[in-house]
Structure 1
Amino acid sequence: MNDYLVKAMAYRGFVRAYAVNATQTVSEAQKRHDAWNTSSAALGRTLIGSLLLGSTVKGDDTITVRIQGDGPGGAIIATSNGSGDVKGYIQNPHVSLPLNEQGKIDVQGAVGTQGIFSVTKDLGLKEPFSGQTPIVSGELGEDFTYYLAVSEQTPSSVGVSVLVDTDDSIKTAGGFMIQMMPGADEEVVAALEERLQHLPKVSSMLDEGKTPEEILDFIFGDEPVAILEKMPVQFKCDCSKERFASGLISLGTQEIQAIIDEDHEAEAVCAFCDNKYYFTEQELAELKQEAVKGNT
């Protein structure tokens, strides 16, 4: 089954709900970055949370999540859009920690408990919107939840979950986001909080064959859930040789000449997807000419 995200409403529109199966998406990221189990889970949870946030904006509008904690994983960055595309990387993909006290992958150990959780929304306006909160957990679901409550004043609950197999491959990955709209009844909030406390991990439910729709049904119990949209999601990077060429031109003629003199060629590597782009000495010379034109 291909990855997809569902958008839904419940309680007469006072509650917005999202659920996603992102197994193939996270698997693609794991393979591209050769991520080990703890790094995979941390990156995967960030990608899932970014997809959930990205589903609240339109089309080509983007959301970038940056998690800069004090753990050995280093910075984690993911960018998603309103069309279901996401890309991302973890600074150190080779982190494999012992299981935590609950016998689970120690994502908190990889991320750390001190640092900054920030979100930048580029909605096509003059200035992108940016908000940041301190890392409150390092498990990431709580960090997305805290960010939404504090920075966007939206009472929410975010669950992000990755099941990593013994060979470091991704078995299942997915998540949910529940958001209260203004005017939501306190009894509704209390009932949902109670149900969410007893919710199994999303990755376990996906492993049992449950769909995103069935996960929302499980969360809401007897309350009817109205599915508004079903959207495919995927790992997709928009890097290109042309984009890297522009970056080289912006270095200026002296810097390009230094590369020609020292290396006679250049290799550019995309941090998000690990694609590599090669530039021959002839191509570098042409880019240098472009830089000369740009300065005249």
Structure 2
Amino acid sequence: MLKPEIAVLDIQGQYRIHTEFYRCDTAENTIILVNGSMATTASFGQTLKNLHPHLNVVLYDQPYAGKSKPHNPHQKMLTRELEALVLLELIEHFDVNYLLSFSWGGTAALTALAATPRRIEKAVISSFSPLINEAMRDYLERGRHCLAARNGTQVGHLVNDTLGKHLPPLFKRFNFRHVSSLAEHEYAQMHFHINHVLSSDQQCFLSAARGIEIPVLFINGEWDEYTVASDARHFAQPIANSQFVSLENTGHFLDMEHKSASHISKNALLDFLKPTHPQHPSLSL
């Protein structure tokens, strides 16, 4: 069992952030992982195993979620810009070289990267698309309805029936237990986020990416109908140094869905972040 160095950090006097630093004496570089919506550090359990000990790994909870939740007053909603500010501060604190975001964590990640943080050399944006397609819009509209009613049970079933449809039964049970029992302010934050996404210009994510000069890898699951790999390729224009990988036989949750998905996801990450890592032919490019 990996043991992290745990700290609760003060971010500009506004937020207190629970952080977990998984150090490896032989690792030369450090990566920070950015959670998706309604997720916590626990969501990155498999990704952590795939990246450590190749890299030092930083995990953190948003101010409203997980182990950061008890340390913050939850008096106002977090915007994408505020989430990016928290991320930029953590990048500086931990001397981070690489960044990996999952799902809606891509909004804060791309906003932070557009600020050209001097330490970041490479980034991976997984399970994210700049376009809100019909399937995602339906999911968001249904989610907005459940969240407005603060109906955690409906939210839990919705996530498992859509984005999580390819998760194994055990993970679905964990996912449902977590998502259906969030605090009221967490549902309010998600409702705020969805309203913002649905009311935004579809080009806003592409605009946020302009000016990013470092290499960025976009990873999407071949079976993911919500953040589609072909839609992610729209980032090729605003991000000149972009690469794209579609993982075979995987949906939205990538490395959590089955052993083969975890294996090919790990190889995709390490082939990009550590080019000396042995190459594997199992990726669909």
Which of the two has higher C-alpha Rg? 1
Q: Give the TM-score normalised by the residue count of structure 1.
A: 0.28
Larger % of strand: which?
1
- Tell me: higher relative CO, structure 1 or 2? Use CA pairs within 8 A at least 6 residues apart: 1
